[in-house]
A and B are shown apart, each in its own frame.
Chain A
Amino acid sequence: SQQGEEDPQALSIQEGENATMNCSYKTSINNLQWYRQNSGRGLVHLILIRSNEREKHSGRLRVTLDTSKKSSSLLITASRAADTASYFCATDEKLVFGQGTRLTINP
């Protein structure tokens, strides 16, 4: 069973623009995490948001969580070429990952 589902599957924007990707899940959670994966590499943890939190910031990252809609969003502001990667959300039930959003930042 797949818990986190990211949307869109692919996103291409210009450097300097903001990138927003979404994650939906099916069952109640204690918290939700976002990870980044550069091509052919392992995943890197970005941010964790707990179920009693609505918004969290880390540098250029902003994560929101709406437990009533069972959804989360990741906003990357002032995007850079180095942000090009796949982004995954994962929920706390054995950290089930979705298929990810492939983000491409065009210079």
Chain B
Amino acid sequence: DGGITQSPKYLFRKEGQNVTLSCEQNLNHDAMYWYRQDPGQGLRLIYYSQIVNDFQKGDIAEGYSVSREKKESFPLTVTSAQKNPTAFYLCASSISKTGDGNTDTQYFGPGTRLTVL
């Protein structure tokens, strides 16, 4: 099965702890993205990566970090510096990058719901 997976589906964290959300894709896509969604709201871009070993900040990168050591994987770490981390986090991938006039459809994972206790 080809697709994009996120784990875990639900995640609970104590205040002050770092936590890492997993995102894996076997679609051979170059670009990967992380979004945050708050209740009743749209998606806001946290980080994106156009190619292995490279990533760019999105609109709300503060308090988050990422790595892209493998094409298939783009983990997101929510650090203790993120003041309001409780949200629904969505990972997506696309064949190539967007923003240069060459838009590609994004394929989304099922999401991870993070709750800070």
Contact = CB atoms under 8 A, between A and B. Distances in A.
Interface of A: 1-2, 30-31, 33, 40-45, 48, 88, 92-100, 102
A45 B59 CA distance: 22
Chain B binding surface SS class: loop
Contacts of B41: 99
Greatest chain B CB density within 10 A among A1, A43, A98 is at A43
Contacts of A99: 40-42
B108 A88 contact: no
Interface string B13-44: 00000000000000000000101000011111
Interface of B: 33, 35, 40-45, 48, 58-59, 88, 90, 92, 98-99, 101-103, 105-111, 113
Contacts of B43: 43, 88, 97
A31 B43 CA distance: 18
Given A42-B92, A88-B42, A88-B43, 15 more contacts: A42-B111, A43-B43, A43-B106, A43-B108, A92-B103, A93-B98, A94-B98, A95-B33, A95-B98, A95-B103, A95-B106, A97-B35, A97-B44, A98-B42, A102-B40
B97 to A, nearest CB: 9
Contacts of B109: 42
Contacts of A40: 88, 111, 113
Contacts of A43: 43, 90, 92, 106, 108
